[in-house]
Structure 1
Amino acid sequence: MITFLSYFTAILALVFIFQLMNIYQLASELKGENTGIANDRDNRSQGLGMLLFMPAFFIFLLTLIFIYKDKMLPQAASDVGKEADRLMNFNWVIIFIVFFITEALLFYFANRYKKGKDNSKAYYFPHQDKLELIWTIVPSIVLAVIIIYGLSLWGKMTGKPDKDAIVIQLYAKQFDFTARYSGHDNILGKTDYKLIDDATNPLGMDTTDAKGWDDIIVKGELHVPVNHQIDFKCNARDVMHGMYMPYFREQINCVPGITTDMHFIPTITTAQMRKDTHDTAFDYMLLCNRVCGAGHYNMQMKIVVDSPEEYYEWLAKQKTFRSNVAAK
C-alpha cells in the first residue's frame, strides 16, 4: 500500500508540474510574449535558479552519502582488505575534490556568464598551451599515484606468499567450488585432467604422487584459521569463473589450463563477525562473479574463519585423499 501511495504521489506531482507549465505558457501568450525566445528575465531567473540549486544539490548528495554509508562495502576481514579500503577511500577523496570544484564552477558560470541587457559574451579562446599543459600533467600525476598504489596492493595479494602459508587449491566448475587442502606436507599433489572422474576423482589427482596422498578434498564449506596467511591456487575445469570473497576484498579469475594465485590473512573469525554484525546467521561466502552459465547464480561456497584450535580440530576430522581412495 505504501509503495502504491508513493507512486501515486509521484505521478500527481508530475501532473501538477505539467499543468503549471501550461498555465505559465498561456499567461505568457496572453501578455503577447514569445515563449520560444529567452528574454533577460528568463536569463536572470535561470542563472539565479542554478545558484540556488547548487547548494541544494550538494546537500542532497551529502545526505545520501551519510544515510547509505553503511550500505556500501562491508567490514573488511583481511589484512589486504583493510588496505584495499584505504585505496578505495583515497580514490573517493580525489573524486569528491574534483567533483565539488567542477560542479561548483559549472553552476557559478551558468549565472556569471548569462546573457545580459548589454548583449555581452564570455571571452572565448580556442587554445592555450598553459591550460593544456596543466590539465594534462596534473591528472597524469594523480593517475600515476593511483596506479602505483594499486599495483603495490595487487603485488601483496598475488606476490610470493609467506613460507608458512597454508596452501589450498580452489577448483571451479559449472556450478560449484571444490577446495583441496595440501595436508601435513603443505604441498599439493599433482593432477591431470585426463584422470578426472566425477564419481571417484573429480579433480584428476595423480594417485602415484605420494605428495597428494595427505591432501584433503572438501565441498560446500571451506575452513581457514584466523591470523594465518592462506595461499589459494585457483583452477577451472570448463569456463572462466570468478573467485570473489567480498569481505576479504579478494577477487581473481579461475581460468582453464592455468593456475592463478592469491593470498591473504583472515583477521576476523566468523563468530566475531556475527557479534559485530548482530547477525547470528552470518557467513563469509565465496562467490562466482563471472557469468559462467545457467546455474551461475547458485555457485557459491561458505567460508568459516575459525580460531587456530578450532581449525586444526576440524582439519583432523577430514579424510585424506589416500583414505578416500582406499575406501572406494
Structure 2
Amino acid sequence: MTSLLVIVVLVLLAVALWQLTRIFDLTQVGASSDDSQVASDNDNNVQGYVMFGFLAFIYIFTIYGLLKWGNLALHTPASEHGLLVDNLMNITWVLIFVVQFITQGLLYWFSFKNRGNKDKKALFFADSNKLEALWSIIPSVVLACLILYGLYAWNNIMFVDKDEDVIEIELYAQQFKWTARYAGEDNVLGKANVRLIEGINTLGVDMSDKNSADDIVVSELHIPKGKKVHFKMRSQDVLHSAYFPHFRAQMNCVPGMVTEFAFVPTYTTAEYRELPFMIEKVANINKLRAENSVKLVAEGGTALDPYTFDYLLLCNKICGASHYNMQMKVVVDTPEDYKKWLSEKTTLAQDIKAAKASEKPAEAVKGTSDSTIKDTVNAVVDTVAAAIAKVAMK
C-alpha cells in the first residue's frame, strides 16, 4: 500500500510540474525569445566550463577511489607465479591511468578550445599521415609489449614438465560443491567417468583401473608449501571456474573435458595469517562483526563468530542459485604436516569396501525380518483356518 501511495504522489508531482511549465510558457507570450535552436556563444562558453567541471569530477573521484578503496585489492600473492601476475596487472593499471589522465585532459581541452564562436571559422583538415602513424604505432607497440609479457607469464604458469616432481590432484566441480581427489602413492590419478557414479563413488572413479586403488577423495584441500601442485579439473554438470584468489590462479571446469593448472604455494596458512596486512584486515573485520553482533543480540539474534583467515577455492562462474556458496577450504601445510595429514586418510577403495561391508548386516537383518513376518502371517492364517473348521463341524 505504501508503494502505491508513493507512486501516486510521484505521478501527481509530475503532472503538477508539467502544468507549471505550461503556465510559464503562457506568461512568455509576446516576449522576445530566440527559438532558432542554435547555440549562442554564451551557450558554448557555459557548456565548455561545465565540461571542465565534469573532467575535474572524473579526476577527483578516481583519486579518491584509489585512496579510499585501494587497500581492498588482493595483497601479497601466496604462490610463486603470483608476483609475475601482479606485476603484469600493475603495469597494465599504470598504463591505463596515465593514458586516461592524458587523453581525457586533451579531449576536454580541445573541445573547450575549439568551442563554437561566431567570430571563428572552422578549419578544414583532411588528414595527417604523421598523426595517423603516431596514434597507430604507439598503441600497437604498447599493446604488443603487454601481450608478449602476458604470454611469457602464461607460459611460465601453465608449463608443467613431464619429468617434474609434482603432486597430482583432481578438482571435481558440481552444483554446488568442490571435491578433491589425490593420486596417492603412485602419483597417478585413476580413470574416471560420470557414468560410473554410484553410491559413495560420487566422482565416477573407475575402480577397475589399477591407478585408482590408492586414490584419496576429500572435501577439504590440503597442499604443501614449496611444492608444485598440478590440478586436473572436471565438471559434472555445468560450467564452473576454479578460482584461487590468493594464489592468483583460475581455470574453467568444463563438462566433458579435463582442464589443468599448476602453482607452487609460498606461504602456509599459518604464515599468511601472520602477515601485517592480514592481521590488520582480520582485526577490521572482527571489529565490524562485533558491532553488528551487538545489534543482533539486542534484537534477540545470535552473535557472529569471529573471523579467521583461510585460503579458499571459489567458483568464479555463475553456475546456479547457490553459486555464491560454492567454496572449499584450502589449507597450506608444511611438507611434514601435509604428509602426516595425507597418511591419515583412507583410500576410495577402502571407503567403498567399508560401505559394502556395512550393507551386508543390514541385508541380513532385513532377511531375518522378512522371514519372521512371513512365519507370523502363516501362523495367523493357520489359527484362523482351524477356528473356521471347528465352527463348521459344530
Give the TM bin, normalised by the shorter chain: 0.7 to 0.9
CA distance in 2, matches of 1:73, 1:165: 27
Give the C-alpha shift of residue 181 in structure 1: 0.8
Note the residue ranges of structure 1 that are not aligned, 5 or more in a row: 1-17
Corresponding position: 1:316 with 2:343: yes
Give the C-alpha shift of residue 203 in structure 1: 1.7
- Matched with 1:286 is 313
- Matched with 2:223 is 224
- Matched with 1:81 is 82
CA distance in 1, matches of 2:171, 2:269: 20
What TM-score do the two structures reach when normalised by structure 2?
0.69
- Matched with 1:269 is 268
The within-5 A match list for 1:80-119 is: 80-119=81-120
- Matched with 1:209 is 209
Give the C-alpha shift of residue 51 in structure 1: 4.3
- Matched with 2:187 is 186
SS at match of 2:170: strand
Q: Which amino acid aligns with 1:152?
A: Y
- Matched with 1:5 is none
Corresponding position: 1:297 with 2:324: yes
- Matched with 2:160 is 160
- Matched with 1:47 is 48
* Maintained 8 Å contact 1:226/1:265: yes
The within-5 A match list for 1:115-126 is: 115-121=116-122, 123-126=123-126
SS at match of 1:79: coil
- Matched with 1:7 is none
Identity in percent: 44
CA distance in 1, matches of 2:89, 2:31: 56
CA distance in 2, matches of 1:192, 1:118: 79
CA distance in 2, matches of 1:31, 1:70: 59
* Maintained 8 Å contact 1:285/1:302: yes
- Matched with 1:13 is none
SS at match of 2:345: coil
CA distance in 2, matches of 1:171, 1:41: 67
CA distance in 1, matches of 2:193, 2:52: 68
Larger Rg: 2
* Maintained 8 Å contact 1:216/1:318: yes
What TM-score do the two structures reach when normalised by structure 1?
0.82
Q: Which amino acid aligns with 1:310?
A: D
Count of equivalent residues: 301
- Matched with 1:8 is none
Give the C-alpha shift of residue 32 in structure 1: 5.8
- Matched with 2:259 is 260
Give the C-alpha shift of residue 88 in structure 1: 0.8
After superposition, the Cα gap between the structure-2 partners of 1:31 and 1:84, relative to the gap in structure 1 and judged at 3 Å, is farther
Q: Which amino acid aligns with 1:258?
A: M
Note the residue ranges of structure 2 that are not aligned, 5 or more in a row: 1-16, 283-306, 356-394
Q: Which amino acid aligns with 1:86?
A: N
Deviations along 1:245-279, one digit per CA (max 9) or x if unpaired, are: 11111111111222111001111222222233122
CA distance in 1, matches of 2:134, 2:94: 20
After superposition, the Cα gap between the structure-2 partners of 1:127 and 1:180, relative to the gap in structure 1 and judged at 3 Å, is same
Greater fraction helix: 2
